[in-house]
Structure 1
């Protein structure tokens, strides 16, 4: 009799644990590539494909901010009616065209769909850089957003649910704003040699991640003396954040010489991202060099009349740091061992 009682007790305990709310299933998208649909439009989402399965995260594109996160402090987004996580199983192999199409294809078709009821989406962001081995210049190419789903509870249909305490979605990479072609002439405001700038040409063929921008150099005008500098003996100064100060600014609209020379700051366009030069260290970094030569009237020979002095500005090992309200999250890049800012002529 005692054995019978123990048997029924165990049976009741097992039935109490299996209330029909959870199923034991899993999926793995670790090795799958992250793609996106509808970038820059409504209905943006990212997804991964593994054979005939897909895992979809539908959340605002602005969730992927190009700002690094502190170590161990990811951005946390709650799963709800706006921020969705969806798992789908199809009856055939998938392609990106199938997922992103606005009109569902006849094949393959969805055979199973799970929708997340609750949980959190954690996003940790780091910066990606590439190095030019010839010049030692670094460039910010984009940002990697590592996504982990926490305590995600899926509605698997028929009253069943599946809970994942941790589900690694993987990485999603966004591009950064990129520099334009600064191989253009130096401009200045009238005869003011203390403020020089360069504006790359932005045209219809310019990539979307190369916005209107300007590189401006506030520089001590005493570096532009009307005397030829001895060979290999340029005049030098250091970046100091005031009288010698380099900025790279990206704008949300087309800019002009008049815009940069305006005595009052225009209301449009406005800066969307700004990098400032770090202060220099003697013989190490943030160095400004000015080399001065004679400018002759064409044709150039010993008999040609002198019309002015040509000043060539070279920057050495200048680090540009993105303006941020949190210094510990600052992102920077280097213009390289030698960066030719450009030349301009001061007429006699």
Structure 2
């Protein structure tokens, strides 16, 4: 049998159904990138290309969930009529248009196809982050799904089968939801100084992975005293999950102040991902600082009357952790110093 240069540099047993012949097949796609077709549709699949060869994994896209799997406990799927593994050899070089085209092109054409009859698909998911070395701020950029196929038995045609005990398919990366551009000016619900929020502008040019969102801060109103704070002596408190509670929520549709200030929690839009701030530690993390200055009537000059006090809120070393999986610590840091914003309390 012709030796196929393909997907995995491994040696395995071949159980042939004819004369009990023993042959070796090897695959090597290690330098190939994993791509996908039909994301968001029922015909979704991922694949790798190596010249004129393709290895295709067709499983529901929901199996690539943006949640970390515990160490040694991957998501496991049985290969069946829903979860398919297919190897193909073509008579010419391949590209994405050939693989993803709903109407097969005239050339190249498939000259050999192996369909997996049984086995398991294991998916282990980890989180990807970018870290700013200057500010120590981090952001979740996506998730890497490492895929291993175990005890996969291929139908190679002509009554033959090939068993691979372990095949490392490789990594498939999905993007994460991202923060929008929050303005430094913050809003409140009427005269309630204990609940403050920011909503970034979402427009037609906003990337798809930046959904409608809000950053909210429940804060002890006693931090907002009508007195100027001495230089470098802000009022301080710690995030504690109750009276001082910071949250970032992504929604499935546009939200506004009416939504956030409603007396009863609206049923729509629906939160699709939530991050809560971890409780603070004195002089270490989760610190809230409030600096107060005098706000004058515009234009500001020596004759302008005082109209209120401007309160600037700074957050220091705040870690935000995903609500759906706090034990797995899917989290990011707002940085050494994060300017939540400022607002004015009128006299």
For the criterion TM > 0.5, the same-fold answer is: yes
1:237 aligned onto 2:237: yes
Q: Aligned equivalents of 1:340 and 1:67: distance in 2? A: 29
Q: How does 1:236-275 map to 2 (within 5 A)?
A: 236-275=236-275
Q: Aligned equivalents of 2:327 and 2:306: distance in 1? A: 52
Cα offsets for 1:243-277 (capped at 9, x unmatched):
00000011111111111111111111111111000
Alignment partner, residue 228 of structure 1: 228
Alignment partner, residue 332 of structure 1: 331
Q: How does 1:47-58 map to 2 (within 5 A)?
A: 47-58=47-58
Q: Does the 8 Å contact 1:184/1:199 carry over to 2?
A: no
Look up the SS of the partner of 1:113 in the other structure. Answer: strand
Cα offsets for 1:95-134 (capped at 9, x unmatched):
1111111121121111100011111000000000000122
From the two aligned structures, give the one with the greater helix fraction.
1
Look up the SS of the partner of 2:214 in the other structure. Answer: strand
Look up the SS of the partner of 1:27 in the other structure. Answer: strand
Which runs of 5 or more structure 2 residues have no equivalent in the other structure? 1-15
Q: Does the 8 Å contact 1:189/1:261 carry over to 2?
A: yes
Alignment partner, residue 5 of structure 1: none
Alpha-carbon distance change, 262 to 154 in structure 1, aligned in 2, over 3 angstroms:
same
Q: Does the 8 Å contact 1:234/1:289 carry over to 2?
A: yes
How far 1:27 moved relative to its partner?
A: 1.1
Q: Which moved more, 1:298-307 or 1:334-343?
A: 298-307
Q: Does the 8 Å contact 2:195/2:219 carry over to 1?
A: yes
Q: Does the 8 Å contact 1:321/1:333 carry over to 2?
A: yes
Q: Aligned equivalents of 2:121 and 2:256: distance in 1? A: 42
1:134 aligned onto 2:134: yes
Alignment partner, residue 69 of structure 1: 69
Q: Does the 8 Å contact 1:22/1:162 carry over to 2?
A: no
Cα offsets for 1:46-94 (capped at 9, x unmatched):
0001111010000111000111011111000111111110000011111
Q: Aligned equivalents of 2:81 and 2:299: distance in 1? A: 73
Q: Does the 8 Å contact 2:184/2:339 carry over to 1?
A: no
Q: Which has the larger radius of gyration?
A: 1
Look up the SS of the partner of 1:86 in the other structure. Answer: strand
Alignment partner, residue 42 of structure 1: 42
How far 1:208 moved relative to its partner?
A: 1.1
Alignment partner, residue 87 of structure 1: 87
Alignment partner, residue 319 of structure 2: 319
Q: Aligned equivalents of 2:299 and 2:184: distance in 1? A: 23
Look up the SS of the partner of 2:307 in the other structure. Answer: strand
Alignment partner, residue 343 of structure 2: 344
Q: Aligned equivalents of 1:226 and 1:217: distance in 2? A: 20
The alignment yields a C-alpha RMSD, in angstroms, of 1.5
Alignment partner, residue 4 of structure 1: none
Q: How does 1:140-159 map to 2 (within 5 A)?
A: 140-159=140-159
Look up the SS of the partner of 1:194 in the other structure. Answer: strand
Alignment partner, residue 168 of structure 1: 168
Which runs of 5 or more structure 1 residues have no equivalent in the other structure? 1-15
Look up the SS of the partner of 1:222 in the other structure. Answer: helix
Q: Aligned equivalents of 1:59 and 1:129: distance in 2? A: 26
TM-score w.r.t. structure 1 length?
Answer: 0.93
TM-score w.r.t. structure 2 length?
Answer: 0.93
Q: Aligned equivalents of 1:17 and 1:195: distance in 2? A: 71
Alignment partner, residue 297 of structure 2: 297
Alignment partner, residue 9 of structure 1: none
Provide the aligned length of Structure 1 versus Structure 2: 332
